[in-house]
């Protein structure tokens, strides 16, 4: 195992996985634990994983660990869509009504995300919340860039249809 390669992956990608877990409702401590556990599992079982698939392997481990943690704690997955923005608006003396409307919109987005396929939800969060490029998402999920584009197109369509059904 090349320790420099692993350190490079960790430094570049661990924060991305951590923030993705946080956006999915994971606490700070749990997200750190999951990222660390995922990298430890990768080290233990990496002999059969090609280096170009390392990140997607670690991301998959992280998602599985997160789901196991939710099951153990009996929790439901909760999405966090720009919640700090709401409180910052009050601190900045912006219009209270528009702040409340943004919070309600965030809750409606959360509800819509809960009703679409998990793979689509992941893609939408990676693209629009973490603002990752198609290339970065493809690397993270172990997909081709064109596959990511196609799936994101479908994800947007499903989100729009679900939004219309729930809020139309």
With beta carbons less than 8 A apart as the criterion, state whether 62 and 17 touch: yes
With beta carbons less than 8 A apart as the criterion, state whether 140 and 21 touch: no
**145 φ/ψ sector (left φ>0, alpha ψ -120 to 50, else beta):** alpha
Question: Would you say residue 132 lies in a domain?
Answer: yes
Give the count of domains, the chain: 2
pLDDT in tens, the chain (168 residues): 567 766 776 777 888 888 888 888 888 999 999 999 998 888 888 787 887 787 888 888 898 899 888 888 776 555 555 555 444 544 454 556 666 677 778 788 888 888 999 899 989 988 988 888 999 899 888 889 999 999 999 999 999 999 999 887
pTM, two decimal places: 0.62
CA 159 from centre of chain: 16
Query: pLDDT value at position 74?
Result: 76
Taking the C-alpha atoms of residue 52 and residue 151, their distance in angstroms, rounded to an integer, is: 21
Tell me the torsion sign for CA atoms 74, 76, 80, 83: negative
Question: Would you say residue 114 lies in a domain?
Answer: yes
**Domain containing 100: what range?**
96-167
Same domain, 100 and 62: no
Question: Would you say residue 160 lies in a domain?
Answer: yes
Taking the C-alpha atoms of residue 37 and residue 28, their distance in angstroms, rounded to an integer, is: 14
Query: pLDDT value at position 77?
Result: 59
Same domain, 125 and 68: no
Question: Would you say residue 84 lies in a domain?
Answer: no
Query: pLDDT value at position 90?
Result: 44
């Amino acid at each position: 195992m090349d320790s420099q390669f692993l350190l490079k992956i960790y430094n570049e990608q661990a924060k991305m996985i951590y923030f993705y877990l946080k956006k999915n409702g994971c606490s700070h401590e749990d997200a750190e634990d999951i990222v660390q556990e995922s990298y430890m599992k990768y080290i233990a079982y990496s002999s059969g994983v090609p280096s170009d698939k390392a990140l997607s392997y670690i991301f998959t481990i992280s998602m599985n660990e997160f789901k196991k943690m939710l099951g153990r704690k009996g929790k439901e997955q909760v999405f966090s869509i720009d919640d700090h923005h709401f409180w910052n608006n009050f601190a900045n003396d912006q219009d209270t009504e528009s702040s409340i409307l943004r919070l309600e919109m965030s809750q409606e987005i959360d509800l819509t995300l809960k009703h679409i396929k998990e793979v689509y939800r992941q893609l939408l969060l990676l693209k629009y919340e973490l603002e990752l490029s198609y290339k970065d998402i493809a690397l993270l999920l172990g997909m081709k860039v064109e596959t990511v584009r196609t799936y994101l197109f479908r994800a947007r369509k499903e989100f729009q249809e679900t939004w219309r059904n729930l809020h139309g």
